[in-house]
Amino acid sequence: MSRLQPRVLRRLRARSERGYVAVTVAIMLTVLLGFCAFAVDVGNWYYVGQKAQKAADAAALAGVPYLPSDQASAFSTARLQSKKNEFENVGVTTVTPSIDGRPTRLRVKVTTTVKNQFGWLLGVPTTTIARSAVADYAGPVPMGSPCNEYGDDPYPSGNRSSNCNNTGAFWANVGSPQAPKGNGDAFQNSMGSNSDYDANGYFYSITLDQDMPSLTIEAFDPALIAVGDKCDVNNLAGADNLSYSLGQTVVSDPDVRYAPNATSPMCTGDVRFGGTGEVQTQFTMRGLSQNAWDPLSYPVMTSASCAAKTFAGYDGDMAKVLKKNSPEYNARPDVAANFRQWKPLCTMTGGVSKGTYLVQIKTNGLGSDAASGHNRFSLRAYGSSGGDKDHISISGYAKMAMYGNTPNGTSKFYLAKVPTGSRGQLFTVRLFDIGDGATAGSTVKVMPPQEYGNTFSGCQGSGVQNGALTDCTINVSSAFNGQWQDVTVPIPSGYTCQDTSPTGCWLRLEFYYGPGSGPADTTSWTANVAGDPVRLVE
């Protein structure tokens, strides 16, 4: 018995262990199968998450170019793009666009619920997947004005917004193809090998930040009617002595409207430089576009009230041509109708959608192009309601030319709108022919938005004055005549401004003309913020 006992015990122990192993394997197999099932579900979560991230990225990039002016279109476009990427805002899927702290940043969050193939065995039948993306947009830099008028307005008559305060005294300028580049308009001289020439002329953006019942767009003194830079040439003599009460003029205030010399608020300073024939100036209205970076993508408006309008120039005796029923007046009644008056370019009624419209202004391709001169004018836009003007802005589109017949001393101008989202980037402004009439001690300074501070640091100059620029200031002289001067401004990492304010985030340009200066200067400006205009930032 003693020999059999160990053998029996071993057999019994083996049978017992075999049962234990079977139970253990069964338990572990269940766990392993659970992990395998879990791995299948996790892989699906990862796959759906990748697709959701792609949809969020695409949606944010598609919608953000509508900001900051058209939030509704930004949101609807984002949802549509997400739908194209298989995530529609319906059922278990939500697509949520929102403004991400800054008016030029769009966040899109895509959330969906997936069914687990095996997770239900573990009590987890579904899993929520969420992905988000943030895109930032920097459109063409608005230049020159934050208000509903671009340039001076001798007769604001209630149409001028309070946003126009402190805009500086200037007129918009467009040169003819024969006008010498050295006279200040860098972009319209087509002679020789001018690499800056743009056959499309100038574009001005008219931006509405809300829908309006109607919109009227006008130009002041739209034709080149030559009276000299300072309105002091002899052809204007005697025009202010004409009498409205005797039926001699089409205007009721000839003594004011037809007054000579630069002190008159009416003096736009249209000037001829020679050539033959008359300068023709064309104003073309363009409607809304989805491509803010291509001005030619804005469709030409062809309705009767908004069709392109061409204004013929004049260079002759103004006292005769402005006198009603004179032979000169009868031959050219358009001169009296256009000279120093607001003329309609476009009237839209029946509801006007918010967004950006363009007006294109050019002097080439309208005749022989043999005349040489500069046409100075202003633009304004207003609605039928008194408050509409506060929701309209007119700015230079990427580049501009301006004329200032200002007195000596200090003048400040709105330069360009640079939003908070530009912090850490480089802003560059190019200034052409900024030295006319300047004496020693004259300066030009790039200044931050009023709400940010008085100076920038780290500015660099390139052109006539090179290297570091203390307080972002250039010392100007006649050496700048007909020359480009670049100023590059590092936008500080802590830069902040009032993005939602019409006058917020506007960098300023301060001109100081020293004693003895005789400023009557046409200058050309262009500006940009370095970097991709549309980019993902999160």
Please give the span between the terminal C-alpha atoms of the chain, in angstroms, as a whole number: 82
Residue type, 503: T
Residues 78-137 pLDDT 10s: 999 999 998 999 898 999 999 887 777 899 999 999 888 766 666 778 889 899 999 988
pLDDT at 333: 98
Query: In the predicted model, what is the mean pLDDT of the chain?
Result: 89
Q: Hey, which residues does 485 pair with through a beta bridge? A: 431
| E strand spans, 433-516 | 443-447, 460-462, 467-468, 473-475, 484-490, 506-513
Q: Please say whether the beta carbons of 172 and 362 come within 8 A.
A: no
Per-residue pLDDT reduced to its tens digit, 439-489: 788 899 999 999 998 789 999 999 999 999 999 999 988 889 899 999 999
- Diameter over CA atoms, the chain: 152
For residue range 59-89, what is the model confidence (pLDDT) as tens digits? 999 998 888 767 888 999 999 999 999 899 9
Instruction: Report which secondary-structure segment, H or E, holds 4.
Output: helix 4-63
Residue 261: left (phi > 0), alpha (psi -120 to 50), or beta?
left
285 contacts 205 by C-beta, under 8 angstroms: no
Quick: pLDDT tens for 306-332: 999 999 999 999 999 999 999 999 999
Q: Provide CB contacts within 8 A for 5, sequence distance 6+.
A: none
The answer for residues whose C-beta is within 8 angstroms of residue 438's C-beta and 6 or more apart is 476, 477, 478, 480, 513, 514, 517, 519
- Looking at residue 419, the DSSP 8-state letter turns out to be -
> From CA 536, how far away is CA 538, in angstroms rounded?
6
Among residues 160, 532, 176, which one has the least CA distance to residue 369? 176
175-189, 256-270, 356-370, 394-408, range with the lowest pLDDT: 394-408
pTM of the entire predicted model: 0.82
In total, the chain counts a number of residues equal to 538
Q: Quote the CA–CA distance of 267 and 410 in Å, as a whole number.
A: 20
H or E segment and range at residue 251: none
pLDDT bin (cut points 50, 70, 90) of residue 1 is very low
For tokens 């309609």, what's the residue? 344
C-alpha angle with apex 374: 372 to 379, nearest 5 degrees?
145
